[in-house]
Amino acid sequence: MRLPKHFGLHVGLTSFCLLTIYPILWVFSIAFSGEQNISFANIPADPTAWDRLRAILPWPEQISIQNFVDLFTQQPFFDWLLNSVIVAAMTTILGVFLACTSAYAFSRFRFPGRRTGMMMFLVSQMFPGTLMLIPLYIIVTKWLGLGNSYFGLILVYATTAIPFCVWMMKGYFDTIPKEIEESAIMDGASSATIFWKIVLPLARPALAITALFSFMTSWNEFILASLFMEDEAMYTAPVGLKFFVGGFSSQWGYFAAGAIIVSLPVVLLFLYLQKYLISGLTAGSVKG
């Protein structure tokens, strides 16, 4: 019997997909178990193949949403989630605004230091984020006095996301024909009208990528948030989740339930913006 074309490739891809999904299924199993400890199915002394399979299947013995209920009623998780929403939303707005205006200037105007500025943005992405922890802490907390505040964390996140966003938006603006703007100028449109009414609507795919990257930079980040936020009431959701797993006691049920809730906004945002993702990534990468 002849095997279908690319059969081996499909088997390999399916295996890797199952390998990736398996830990996620365990997270769901722990979250919906209603318990705090990780428990495995009991294997009898003389196990059958089904007994061994049950031991590794990520399926709770009973399904319960008690962990989710306790997370919002007995834990300060809702406050941490609200902090993440505020920080991520403001970072996205600030990052998209600064990236769009900067990228448009780099794309359309010719001025001294233009190429140097773009190269500096690129060079800044070559260094690991942990290298900037101490300088950022000194600048934000000591010089600006913005430690343990929303604005200080938003400023750091926006600064971190802007270099990539500027390169992405600048590459997309380069693909928009200048003749469109010249026609608008002939009709009497101002520079602000051209930018807000013509260029930005045409750059919606790149805007979607920029907004998504800015949102994910602040929503999933842990190290900087744990460094700058000293008050427990100011913790973001990723930092708050850390306290469910300690050295002496671990509340794995709450941790798994919180991890699922924290992941939902990113998943929903991906689903909403997926129609823009491919066109935004490809069109913004052809010219630099």
Same domain, 270 and 229: yes
Same domain, 187 and 242: yes
Same domain, 24 and 161: no
What digits encode the pLDDT tens for the residues 232-285?
A: 889 999 999 888 887 667 888 899 999 999 999 988 888 888 777 665 555 544
Same domain, 174 and 269: yes
Is the per-residue pLDDT at 287 higher than 50? no
Same domain, 38 and 178: no
59 pLDDT band (50/70/90 cuts)? confident
44 pLDDT band (50/70/90 cuts)? low
In a domain, 70, yes or no: no
What's the confidence (pLDDT) of residue 92?
93
Same domain, 108 and 24: no
Give CA separation, 117 vs 1, 113, 162, 211, in Å.
62, 6, 13, 22
Look at residues 64, 89, 104 and tell me which one is the last residue of a structural domain: 64
What is the span of the domain harbouring residue 47? 7-64
In a domain, 215, yes or no: yes
Q: What is the CATH number of the domain that holds 85?
A: 1.10.3720.10
In a domain, 59, yes or no: yes
Give CA separation, 222 vs 17, 227, 241, in Å.
27, 9, 10
Same domain, 243 and 266: yes
Is the pTM here over 0.85, yes or no? no
Mean pLDDT of 119-128: 82
Q: Coil, strand, or helix at residue 245?
A: strand
What's the confidence (pLDDT) of residue 117?
87
What's the confidence (pLDDT) of residue 54?
64
What digits encode the pLDDT tens for the residues 149-202?
A: 999 999 999 888 888 889 888 988 988 888 888 888 888 888 888 899 889 988
What's the confidence (pLDDT) of residue 288?
44
Number of domains composing the chain: 2
51 pLDDT band (50/70/90 cuts)? low
What's the confidence (pLDDT) of residue 278?
63
Same domain, 44 and 104: no
What digits encode the pLDDT tens for the residues 70-91?
A: 888 888 899 999 999 999 999 9
Same domain, 163 and 30: no
Look at residues 40, 64, 88 and tell me which one is the last residue of a structural domain: 64
What's the confidence (pLDDT) of residue 263?
92
Mean pLDDT of 107-122: 86
Same domain, 107 and 178: yes
In a domain, 1, yes or no: no
- pLDDT above 70 as % of the chain: 88
In a domain, 222, yes or no: yes
Rg (CA), the chain: 24
Mean pLDDT of 123-140: 84
What's the confidence (pLDDT) of residue 237?
92
